[in-house]
């Protein structure tokens, strides 16, 4: 082993001090010291003051150690692989490269899966677009969820919604869709039969609607009144309910308001709370 020509010289021109070497390869100085102690990676040179100096060949060996560590080899086995003259280093590295590429591919698949999970958690619907259309009907539009998040994404109710539906299976969603269809059919039938707002039958329908909403978030009577305003005030809602039965949007809002009054809520001043 040679020495640098003077005290205080940081390193030969083609070498790196332990600190610079550690920073270059992204490991700690302590790790390099340990590898030197056990003979795994020993610096090729030292300064006159005894400081370690790593050559380009030393750094290349460090990188090979890191590759083997990433693949799960223990340090003793790595030392044997690096120092055994009977082992074709290039061939072995090509084999390890193939294993790393396979691992990277697996990790990328996991990242994709996590992204899908994050998307599902964000939207609250763990269904494909085809499943959504099959369960909720041909009129279903996946972008409705995005619109809802844009409108209510920062609210406590949206947080409740995403938490409560994140684990629902397609079968669970099918049950929800069936319950919704049944309620809508009963609403349309009640309107055709002339059930008046404020009657026990109408109040029961309003309560069923609020209970259905409460599966997603804690829907109060005042919140239900605010939803009822949308049924008549926004064309998308009004068109939907009126397609089930002419005049259903107005009547639906009327039974919600009447039920709220029965419980001491003034529909005119009700707010989202």
Q: What is the pLDDT at residue 3?
A: 42
pLDDT tens profile 6-15: 334 455 556 7
Q: 């120092």: which residue's tokens?
A: 83
More confident residue, 130 or 117: 130
Pairing of strands 52-54, 45-46: antiparallel
At residue 208, the pLDDT reads 95
Please tell me the total number of residues recorded for the chain in this structure: 273
Q: Say how far apart CA 185 and CA 183 lie, in whole Å.
A: 5
Place of tokens 């996991």: 110
Digit-coded pLDDT (tens) for 47-95: 888 888 999 999 999 998 998 888 888 998 889 888 888 877 778 778 8
- 205 or 9, higher pLDDT: 205
Measured from the Cβ of residue 165, the count of other Cβ atoms closer than 10 Å reads: 20
Range from 40-49, 113-122, 193-202, 245-254 carrying the lowest mean pLDDT: 113-122
**Which of 2-16, 90-104, 139-153 shows the highest mean pLDDT?**
90-104
Is the domain 1-87 a CATH 1.10.1660.10 member?
yes
Phi, psi of 54, deg, nearest 5: -105, 125
Most confident segment among 2-16, 96-110, 196-210:
196-210
Domain ranges of the chain: 1-87, 88-123, 128-262
Contact status, residue 149 vs residue 158, Cβ threshold 8 Å: yes
- 52 or 134: which leads in pLDDT: 52
Residue 171: phi and psi, rounded to 5, are: -65, -40
Report residue 175 CA to chain centroid gap. Answer: 25
Share of the chain above pLDDT 70, in %: 78
Crossing angle of helices 29-37 and 56-70, in 10° steps, is 90
What is the fold, at CATH topology level, of the domain defined by 128-262? Globin-like (1.10.490)
Q: Given the structure tokens 């259309």, which residue do they identify?
A: 133
Is a pLDDT exceeding 90 seen at residue 261? yes
Common-topology check for domains 1-87 and 128-262: no
The answer on pLDDT for 227 being more than 70 is yes
Check residue 123 and give its pLDDT: 53
Residue 81: both structure tokens together: 């692989």
Q: What are the tokens at 124? A: 């609250």
pLDDT value of position 82:
86
Written as six digits, the tokens of 67 are 């590759």
């Amino acid at each position: 082993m040679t020495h640098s020509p003077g005290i205080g010289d940081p390193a030969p021109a083609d070498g790196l001090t332990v600190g610079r070497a550690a920073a270059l390869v992204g490991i700690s100085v302590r790790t390099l010291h340990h590898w030197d102690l056990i003979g795994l990676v020993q610096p090729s040179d030292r300064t006159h003051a005894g400081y370690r100096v790593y050559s380009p060949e030393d750094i290349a060996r460090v990188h090979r150690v890191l590759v083997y560590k990433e693949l799960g080899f223990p340090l003793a086995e790595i030392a044997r692989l690096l120092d055994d003259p009977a082992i074709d280093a290039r061939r072995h590295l090509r084999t390890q490269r193939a294993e790393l590429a396979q691992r990277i591919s697996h990790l990328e698949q996991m990242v994709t899966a996590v992204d899908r999970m994050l998307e599902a958690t964000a939207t609250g619907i763990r269904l494909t677009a085809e499943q959504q259309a099959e369960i909720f009907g041909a009129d279903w539009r996946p972008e409705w969820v995005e619109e809802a998040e844009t409108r209510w994404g920062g609210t406590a109710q949206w947080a409740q919604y995403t938490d409560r539906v994140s684990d629902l299976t397609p079968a669970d969603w099918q049950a929800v869709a069936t319950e919704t269809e049944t309620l809508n059919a009963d609403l349309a039938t009640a309107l055709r039969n002339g059930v008046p707002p404020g009657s026990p039958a109408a109040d029961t329908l309003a309560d069923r609607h609020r209970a259905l909403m409460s599966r997603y978030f804690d829907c109060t009577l005042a919140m239900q009144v605010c939803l009822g305003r949308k049924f008549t005030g926004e064309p998308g809602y009004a068109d939907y309910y009126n397609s089930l039965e002419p005049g259903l949007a107005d009547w639906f809002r009327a039974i919600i308001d009447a039920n709220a009054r029965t419980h001491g809520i003034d529909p005119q001043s009700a707010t989202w709370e």
